[in-house]
Amino acid sequence: MPNVIARLDGCELSYGERVILKNCSLDVVEGAITCIIGLSGAGKSTILRLLDGLRKPNSGHVYVRGTDICHISEEALNEIRQSISLSFQFAALLDSLTVGENVALPLRERMRHSDGEVKRAVDEALELVGLGSSYDAMPSELSGGMLKRAGFARAIVTRPELVLYDEPTTGLDPIVTHLITDTIVSLRQKLGGTAVVISHDLHSIFMMADYVAMLFEGAIIAYGSVDEIKASDNPIVQQFLAGSEVGPIPL
């Protein structure tokens, strides 16, 4: 079996009476891109927050490098989170800072570096996402696709082992979606890390994924390679992939 860098094991999570995850288990394979698909509001982004330690399940376990992050001190959790980055759906850049200053924030918050070291690391991160000339630009001057890539640069500037991408192609046209997909694949190849991607764009997912997991009614109901998911005999999976109104998924 491949090495597993992170794992959800029987996680349950509710907001009041609303059940989000129910006996949810997932392996994140080291060095691979794992994409999570499912209906809107199914809880896909919640999985990212569990992996990053931003949320804790009501029951179950979340392991990162073999450590159950649900039952450790805040200090120990912060240490583990040094190796994890979350790329937010809408980039979440601060409007009052330049792109370069935004990308530098994790370095200044988490680590002790000289100004020169920070500048070199930021320049390299921006170059990796194709924004080498945007250090002094303001977020308001960037297009939607450039904002997404600036968010990627901030996520990878600390060289994390695990990058979590929340809906990276939402609201983008097909050309920019292809560019964003290529960027995620390129970053994984160049940095040698692991990625988990939440997306509704099946074409993008099939281009980038090593593994695909489908979340339905709080649990992972299918998991495998792209070819295995496409060939699944689960009628829920097939209805979702076909985008059909006919099938067992309640509308």
Q: Residue 1: pLDDT band by 50, 70, 90 thresholds?
A: low
Burial track 172-201 (b if 16+ CB lie within 10 A, e otherwise): beeebbbbbbebbeebbeebebbbbbbbeb
Average of per-residue pLDDT across 2-21: 93
Percent pLDDT > 90 in the chain is 77
Cα–Cα dist 130/145, whole Å: 11
Given a cut of 70, whether residue 197 has pLDDT beyond it is yes
Q: Residue 195: pLDDT band by 50, 70, 90 thresholds?
A: very high
Question: Which domains does the chain show, CATH number per domain?
Answer: 1-83+161-251 (3.40.50.300), 89-159 (no CATH)
pLDDT for the residue numbered 116: 86
pLDDT in tens, 149-187: 999 999 999 999 999 999 998 888 899 999 999 999 999
